[in-house]
A and B are shown apart, each in its own frame.
Chain A
Amino acid sequence: MVLRRKTVLFALIVLGGLLVVAALAPVFIPFDPDALNLTARLLPPNPTHPFGTDHFGRDILSRALVGTRITLLLGLSISGFALVFGVPIGVVSGYYDRVGMVVMRLVDAIMAFPAIILALALMAILGKPGVVNVIIAVGMVWAPRMVRVVYSSTLSLRENTYVEAARAVGAASGRILLRHITVNLLSPVIVQATFTFAFSIMEVAALNFLGVGIPPYVPSWGGMMNEGRMYIIRAPWIILFPGLLLAMSVLSFNLVGDALRDRLDPKLRNAV
């Protein structure tokens, strides 16, 4: 338990740090992230460039810190996308059996496509690489997972006595859905949104790494790793640091998600 508390504290510190960096990066980064310096190409980490430089002589530290912004922005937008579509569809499917039967079949079928395959196919349909297209493509991968979580929570919520009581006093279905069910979905939804955030930033990094995500001129962790591939043996630091930042962020979100799940659902506290 003590270990767990310490790891959660670590995660919260990392996440707080990321937020500060994302908000203030342009103020305290040592170099212009896009400034080319051909005399300083492929420098290993040193006092001037703590994370080294890339093949254009750009400062890796500055680029990685600026990359925090786009990472958090995309993670937030994708989780938002999943929430906006997943919660209403999930609630209605869980409350009305007939809708549920159809929607859940479809959700299962969509989930038969592995995440990255679906995201790649959607990027191919949506056309050019770009922030909005990435949000839609990855969001459509994670929305069905949100639907599933909301659906199964609604199934058990609607059996509660207070829902029956509301129905008995003549509350309309809309009112029951909104005031008695959706409100109580808060905890599973928050937990799922946290995991969505973690997985989606990993998936976005994979898309950027493959060169089908956001355009390469926007500094992103996945994009930086893609550009560093050519120099992997000569200059591994180009890939090392953005990857470490990504792994630390994903780890922190997973830890917070785990902790929230244990907190919000006491039944699970001793399970894992």
Chain B
Amino acid sequence: MLSFIARRGLGMVLSTLLVVTITFVFMQLIPGDPASVLLGPNATPEQIANLKATWGLDRPLPVQFARYFVNLFQGNLGESLFHRQPVLKMIGERAETSVFLGSMALLVVAGLGIPAGIIAAIRPNSWLDNLLLLVALAGASIPSFWLGLMLMVVFAGKLHLLPSSGFTSVIATGNIANLKSLILPAFSLGFVNAALVARTARSSMLDVLRADYITTAKAKGLSQPVVIVKHALRNAAIPITTVISFTFASLVSGAVVTENVFALPGIGSLIVQSVLKRDYPVIQGIMLVVAVLYVLVNFFTDLTYAFLDPRIRYR
């Protein structure tokens, strides 16, 4: 197990280094340079040169890269061009909303997707299976922001059951009821991604249910729930885990738009505002944080496999 972790860990470090390099290259590709962007069209060449010298932008590229790297290790992701605040602080302030939204959406993904897949697999080709398959297909084709807007019309506009926008910190106020504002966004985000999980859960359950050990378990006289939960689900869990971890990237993508729809103060709405204002250091910082998180999620998914299926550790 240790050598497995070490090998995957090395891969993770390598991917992280590449991700850091790509975000550095991103900064090199912006039109003009950050100093002229910040100072605007009326700046004199001296002013621009001075600011470049302060930021080290007049140094050779390898030096800049090394500096970027060292700064990252010190938790310095640069400074916003417009808010004059450290990027890391801005991301940190908005992390709560995004983390709550993501976790609640993940609950919807697993809570809808896995049971739907299992139910469909128990009676393949029944009307229920076909119905679930159709809903899953339709779900995967609906843009989450559109679903969010439609839910907003019904639940906030017509029924007045749930708030349509905004979110106040749960941590700062200690009021857990604030999570109510995240129900609609989390559902619209989760529903769309649950479709993929349902399809995978169905096909991997179907495979497992055909196995000999399931026949044996049934022959022993075990009840269906025991066979499904204890014998089938655990063996079908690996593809399901993979797909749920795949939804991380898709949840982040969806959250960017969903946060905008529901005016949530999260990282997704921060990146959109930064793109509209061309606040490059913030864009770069968010790219980096999200991609590193993605690499970490993949790493832990690999570890989960090894835990679920001991054979994998020795491959």
Contacts and interface: CB of A to CB of B under 8 A. Distances in A.
Interface stretch (A16-24, A52-60, A175-183, A198-206): A198-206
Nearest to A222: B143
A25 to B, nearest CB: 22
Nearest to A234: B157
Contacts of B257: 116, 206, 209-210
Contacts of A124: 30, 274-275, 278, 280, 283
Q: Identify the interface centre among A117, A225, A272: most chain B CB within 10 Å of its CB.
A: A117
A271 B204 CA distance: 9
A229 B149 contact: yes
B143 A243 contact: yes
Contact of A110 (B22, B138, B254, B292): B22
Contacts of B271: 117, 120
A96 interface: no
A236 B151 CA distance: 11
Contacts of B149: 225, 229, 232, 236, 239, 243
Contact of B290 (A117, A198, A243): A117
A114 B261 CA distance: 19
Interface stretch (A43-51, A73-81, A152-160, A246-254): A246-254
Contacts of A3: 130
Interface string A100-140: 00000110111111111110110111010000000000000
Classify the interface of chain B: helix, strand, loop or mixed: helix
Contacts of A125: 26, 29-31
B287 interface: yes
A173 B178 CA distance: 63
A237 to B, nearest CB: 10
A189 interface: no
Interface in B246-283: 249-250, 252-254, 256-257, 260-261, 271-272, 274-276, 278, 280, 283
B295 interface: yes
Given A236-B157, A272-B199, A112 B272 contact: no
A195 to B, nearest CB: 11
A233 B156 CA distance: 9
Contacts of A271: 203
Contacts of A113: 19, 22, 287, 290-291, 294
Nearest to B290: A117
B145 interface: yes
Interface of A: 3, 7, 105-106, 108-118, 120-121, 123-125, 127, 198, 202, 205-206, 209-212, 225, 229, 232-233, 236, 239-240, 243, 246-248, 250-251, 254-255, 271-272
